Structure formats: C-alpha cells, structure tokens
Structure 1
Amino acid sequence: MAARSRTFEWGDPKVSAAAVGRASGLEFLRDVLAGRLPAAPIASALGFTLEEVESGRAVFALEPGEEHYNPIGSVHGGVYATLLDSAAGCAVQSALPAGMGYTSLDLNVKFLRPVNVETGKVRAVGTVVSQGRRTALAQAQLLDSADRLLAHATSSCMLFPVPAA
C-alpha cells in the first residue's frame, strides 16, 4: 500500500474575520482575491481558490485530487458541498454593504454527476437569487470545464449588522 501525503499552509483567519463589515462585502472579497486578506483556511485544506467575484456572484475553483476521494473512488460529497456553500455564501457576501455580515442557515445539495481526477478543474458558481433586509437566498452550480452541471445547491442566509470593532 503506497502512502501519499500533502502539505498546505494558511493565513491567520483572525485577520480576515476582523475585516468583515469594515468595507462592503464585495470590497472584502476583492481583497481576498488580490491576496490582501488571507483566504479561509478551509480553502487551503481542500485546495480551492476564489477565482472571480462581482456583486451578487462568486466563483471558486478546484482541481480534484485523490485526496478528495471517498472510499468508492470519487470526490466526497462533502467537498462538493463545501465548494457550493462557499460560492453561494460569498455571492451573498458580495452584495452586502459595509457594516453587514451573513451566516448560512441551510444548504440543500443535489449531486448530479460523479467527479474524479479525470474530471479536471471544476468551478462552483454562486449567485444571489433574492435578498431582503434579514435573509438572502443564493444558488450555486458546480460545473466542469465543458460547463456540464455536476451538482446544484441552494442556501438561505441570515443577514445581520456587524458590531463595530
């Protein structure tokens, strides 16, 4: 049995957490994208990156590896869910004004196609469907390089004011 290993690093999550709400959600995410703020440690642990962000839309990408596999030889559903949750949540965050934050209330995922190393790079594209004063609804699609739909998710998010530091 051949052993494999993977090493990764991450930035201090307190730095990014302290910046939430100081600027708009879009400005916050653009700072993460530009490397001015550290990405979430889960992104380093799983190896995914924020690739695009605009108001109401966020895109994350992952090159699937066998470190993402479940015991039956395909990418674990939790990896799909993490990518979709990140894309949907950050789509909501990108639409928030300064002084506001969000948290996910639920995540409903539909797995449509298997993903493995042969699938190649996948993208989770999140968009805001509806936003009110207290809640937002977002969706996210997991797509392969040919834009085939691999999984779909919806997420309800609670919006709240962030206390001034």
Structure 2
Amino acid sequence: MPRTRTYTWQDPSVSASAVGGTTGLEFMRGILEGRLPAPPFAATLGVDLEEVAPGRAVFALTPGEEHYNPLGGVHGGVFATLLDSAAGCAVHTLLPAGAGYTSIDLTVKFLRPVTAATGRVRAVGTVLNSGRRTALAEARLLDAGDRLLAHATSSCMIMPLPGAGNGSGPAPSS
C-alpha cells in the first residue's frame, strides 16, 4: 500500500552564507536556536540537532519505515549520515571565525539492528583531538537506554574559508 511523507525546509543559502562569519560554536548555536535554518537533509531524514557545546554535538532521529532498507531495518546510510553529522559538527564547534572543515574519512561500525520499534536514537559526537590542520572525532549512536548501536570515527581537514571576511586561519594547534 503506497505511503506518502511531506516535509518542508528553508533556503540552505542562508546558513551557507553565515558559515565562517562567526565561530563554529556560535554558528551551531544559531542552528540549534533557530536563528539559522537547519540544512535540508535534516528535514528529509527527520534529524534534530539537540545539543552543541565546545567539542560536542548531538543529533537525534526517530526511526520510521521511511528509513528502511529492503530487509526491514533502518538503512545503514541513515546512521552513517547521523554519525557523520555529529562527528563533523563537534569539530565545527571548535573552529574560529573564518575557518571551515571537510570530512576526510568516516569509519562506521554497526553493532545492533535498528527498526522503528527501537525508538528515538541519538548520535553523540565528540572531538578526540584537534590540531592546526586536522581533527579526529568520534560519534556514538545510542538508544534511549544508552545502548551502543553504532560507532564512527571521522578525520576532518580544517581550512580557512575563502571570502569569510576576517582572514582568520584554522584553529590553533592543541
């Protein structure tokens, strides 16, 4: 039986034009507090940004059948996206104005199956090490009972953003 799902999103250029104009933490707080629109993928998947702090970002999702693979479980790509977002945005919270990042790699380990019956899950991203040019972060996918469902590590390249306005370079070495 056919099903439908309708969702809306805001113009992504609004947030994109704000990247680099403030610190990464201020930018992420702008999204969390609704002063900047969330990226469209969040509406597409039903992802919510729940928390940001220096070196930390938490995203949540309530799995539904719209996330299923042909085997009847949530597709691993949905969780890879959630984990990538948590790890990358944790890195973003440590960036000075004028700096940006891009993921170099993402390694994901799926530990438990997830279905709509699993309930809301959270991807908790934390920075393990942040240097001048790269950062290493991890993200843990947890259920409501804090059981580990999946784990990821991500390396990110830190770089100055062209045209960010203030000429700031990457985050200082730690």
**Cross-structure match for 2:56:** 57
- Report matched runs for 1:87-102 at 5 Å: 87-102=86-101
Question: Any idea what SS the aligned residue of 1:159 has?
Answer: strand
In structure 1, how many angstroms separate the alpha carbons of the residues matched to 2:106 and 2:7?
A: 27
In structure 1, how many angstroms separate the alpha carbons of the residues matched to 2:15 and 2:157?
A: 20
Q: TM-score normalized by structure 2?
A: 0.93
**Cross-structure match for 2:163:** 164
Q: Are 1:144 and 2:143 matched, yes or no? A: yes
In structure 2, how many angstroms separate the alpha carbons of the residues matched to 1:115 and 1:27?
A: 33
Question: Any idea what SS the aligned residue of 2:153 has?
Answer: strand
In structure 2, how many angstroms separate the alpha carbons of the residues matched to 1:8 and 1:15?
A: 19
C-alpha deviation, 1:163, in angstroms: 2.0
C-alpha deviation, 1:164, in angstroms: 2.6
**Cross-structure match for 1:73:** 72
C-alpha deviation, 1:129, in angstroms: 0.4
Question: Any idea what SS the aligned residue of 1:139 has?
Answer: strand
C-alpha deviation, 1:159, in angstroms: 0.4
In structure 2, how many angstroms separate the alpha carbons of the residues matched to 1:27 and 1:123?
A: 22
Q: Unaligned regions of 5+ residues in structure 2, if any?
A: 165-174
In structure 2, how many angstroms separate the alpha carbons of the residues matched to 1:129 and 1:9?
A: 35
- Report matched runs for 1:14-163 at 5 Å: 14-163=13-162
Letter in 2 for 1:101: G
Question: Any idea what SS the aligned residue of 1:91 has?
Answer: helix
Question: Any idea what SS the aligned residue of 1:39 has?
Answer: coil
In structure 2, how many angstroms separate the alpha carbons of the residues matched to 1:133 and 1:13?
A: 28
Q: Unaligned regions of 5+ residues in structure 1, if any?
A: none
Question: Any idea what SS the aligned residue of 1:70 has?
Answer: coil
Letter in 2 for 1:103: T
Letter in 2 for 1:120: G
Letter in 1 for 2:116: V
C-alpha deviation, 1:162, in angstroms: 1.1
Question: Any idea what SS the aligned residue of 1:61 has?
Answer: strand
Question: Any idea what SS the aligned residue of 1:23 has?
Answer: coil
Q: Encode CA deviations 1:131-152: one digit per residue, 9 max, x unaligned.
A: 1010000000000000000000
Q: TM-score normalized by structure 1?
A: 0.98
Question: Any idea what SS the aligned residue of 1:125 has?
Answer: strand
In structure 2, how many angstroms separate the alpha carbons of the residues matched to 1:15 and 1:105?
A: 25
In structure 1, how many angstroms separate the alpha carbons of the residues matched to 2:38 and 2:127?
A: 21
Which contiguous aligned blocks of 4+ residues in structure 1 show a shift greater than 4 angstroms?
A: none
Compute the RMSD of aligned alpha carbons.
Answer: 0.6
